[in-house]
Structure 1
Amino acid sequence: MPVEAWLDATVAGVFGLLIGSFLNVVIYRVPRILEGQWEREIADYAASRTAEVASGSAVAEPEPFNLLVPRSRCQTCGHQLRWFENIPVFSYLGLRGKCASCGARISMRYPLVELLTGALFVYCAQRFGLTATGAAWAFFCAMLVAMAFIDWDTTLLPDNLTLPLLWAGLLASAAGLIEVPLVQSVVGAAAGYLSLWLVYWAFKLATGKEGMGYGDFKLFGALGAWFGWPALVPLILMASVVGACVGIAMKVASSLREGGYVPFGPFLVGAGLAALILGPNAVQDAILGLFGL
């Protein structure tokens, strides 16, 4: 590999580790920020229906909680992390996976998210170079990593992640940063959303239950924007087959969460990353090969 390619991969890898560290914050905080917003909206509505508002009673403002404040801290003892305790991967290894203050074990997920993001950034740099196209696909990968873990933890796919990803795909196509014509990108976004929307309503009318959430529609629409409408069939085929296998395995192992739900978003994410690395057609051929077709 040429020296320039090694330098590109190194820069991308280091940047990916830093972004991965930030994604850990996103994964943990975004659902809690949304929950706080919903609770405040409910409280405001409830207050508006009571006489307390008329009497001018004060409502305590919550402490700031967003992606920037407060600073990262141990979830067990509240110890605020110092800069050298927040270096991606290396701090985890240096601390031996434990809090420096209370000794509580730190989840392996944190360095794994950082390493996964770093590896994806290195791949984008090696394939596309340190270019606008490489940056666009790195953004795509980072957003998918965050959404996969958030959905797995909470069964939520927040609009403030799915919608920017969808619009970024359309803009990347319009700017010529990805090899998907704008018409295919637009049709892919619309068809991706509407196809799962139709499946959702068909399942709900037939069973009276909700089989997936609206976030899945938006995520699939975003994948359609990035890969174009011809990729939708292999993407949904891969996500469905892998999701069904994982769901069956979890049921056999009695590890399904309450209600028996398995979030579909992580499998859409996996299909999207596989399509980036292997290509949608390769994904489709591999899945069809499992059935001897």
Structure 2
Amino acid sequence: MPEGIWLQAALGGLFGLLIGSFLNVVIYRLPKMMERQWAAECAEMTGQTPAPQERFNLVVPRSRCQKCGHQIRWLENIPVLSYVFLLGKCSACGTPISLRYPMVELVTGLLFAWCVWRWGWTWTAAAWCVFSAVLVALTLIDWDTTLLPDDLTLPLLWLGLIASALGITGVRLPDAVWGAVGGYMSLWLVYWGFKLATGKEGMGFGDFKLFAALGAWFGWQALVPIILMASVIGALVGIGMKLASSLREGGVVPFGPFLAMGGLTAMIFGPQSILRVIGL
């Protein structure tokens, strides 16, 4: 193991904490930006003038308390530490701050630290850090809204193909291309088979794109291990939520978070390790 790798991993983890803080913004704002865009497009198609709205994107307006409108100062926005010092409450009105914010920061920091520990300060580590960050964001966006934004899934797909072409992921480009094709087409066929049999939609098109992106990053050989892991995790979570009577209206459980977990598991342990764990 290279000398100083633990220090490098720690620095990577600190950077990951900062990225995790930004991911909290992405998770909250990106779906709302999409809703605003859809509303504007609907108004345009019906010949109406869209109502003027406050500028809203990933940068502006500044983060604020959703209850009292208190603008978050930089001292209140230090990853994890600010949550601890504020005792998990808004400094202005005392409204509890969701524990999910520091958890996203911690998880992202740990994933970045692992990537740097595994690959050092290399382009390979940088690529897998980006991969990890996008999957964290997609997991929570899909869980909250049942949406997998093209703004995240499609760049993830193309980055996987580009990283393969540059030799960064260690996956041959033909394997990456067929992984993308196989990932998309497999779930597309499942979707239409289920819809023709039941008249219902069992998943969204975002799931196809996310699975295609995972195929691009790992190659077609990893598709079966990833979908098996996602299915096992999804089944366990779904059963647990049903027993706890915590299923949302309609009993919908988005599949994207479990695909993302399968992808992260494959990154950490390797696709073939998944098969060994489940006894195949």
Superposition TM-score tier, normalisation by shorter sequence: over 0.9
Q: Name 1:267's counterpart in structure 2.
A: 258
Q: Look at both structures and tell me which one has the larger radius of gyration over its CA atoms.
A: 1
What do the CA deviations read for 1:226-257 (whole angstroms, capped 9, x no partner)?
Answer: 00000000110111121112112211221110
Is contact 1:88-1:111 (8 Å) kept?
yes
| Distance apart, 1:285 and its partner CA | 1.5
Q: Name 1:66's counterpart in structure 2.
A: 57
| Distance apart, 1:7 and its partner CA | 2.3
Q: Return 5+ residue gaps in structure 1 as ranges.
A: 49-57
| Distance apart, 1:62 and its partner CA | 1.5
What do the CA deviations read for 1:80-131 (whole angstroms, capped 9, x no partner)?
Answer: 0011001100110110000000000000000000000000000000000011
The verdict on how the C-alpha distance between 1:175 and 1:261 changes in structure 2, with shifts beyond 3 A counting, is same
Give the partner amino acid of 1:164.
P
| Residue of 133, 157, 163 corresponding to 2:154 | 163
User: How many percent of aligned residue pairs carry the same amino acid?
Assistant: 66
Map 1:18-167 to 2 at 5 A: 18-47=18-47, 60-167=51-158
Is contact 1:243-1:264 (8 Å) kept?
yes
Give the structure-2-normalised TM-score. Answer: 0.98
Cα separation, 2, equivalents of 1:171 and 1:74: 40
Q: Secondary structure in 1 aligned to 2:250? A: coil
Q: Secondary structure in 2 aligned to 1:256? A: coil
Cα separation, 2, equivalents of 1:111 and 1:3: 31
Cα separation, 1, equivalents of 2:6 and 2:257: 31
| Residue of 160, 165, 174 corresponding to 1:183 | 174
Q: Does 1:235 find its partner at 2:235?
A: no
| Distance apart, 1:3 and its partner CA | 5.3
Give the partner amino acid of 1:38.
W
Is contact 2:40-2:50 (8 Å) kept?
no
Cα separation, 1, equivalents of 2:244 and 2:91: 36
Cα separation, 2, equivalents of 1:20 and 1:7: 20
Is contact 1:121-1:138 (8 Å) kept?
yes
After the TM superposition, which segments of 4 or more aligned residues of structure 1 sit over 4 Å from their partners? none
Is contact 1:235-1:284 (8 Å) kept?
no
| Distance apart, 1:60 and its partner CA | 4.3
Q: Return 5+ residue gaps in structure 2 as ranges.
A: none
Q: Does 1:208 find its partner at 2:199?
A: yes
Q: Does 1:172 find its partner at 2:163?
A: yes
The verdict on how the C-alpha distance between 1:99 and 1:172 changes in structure 2, with shifts beyond 3 A counting, is same
Q: Secondary structure in 2 aligned to 1:47? A: coil
Tell me whether 242-251 or 71-80 shows the greater mean CA deviation.
242-251
Q: Does 1:193 find its partner at 2:173?
A: no
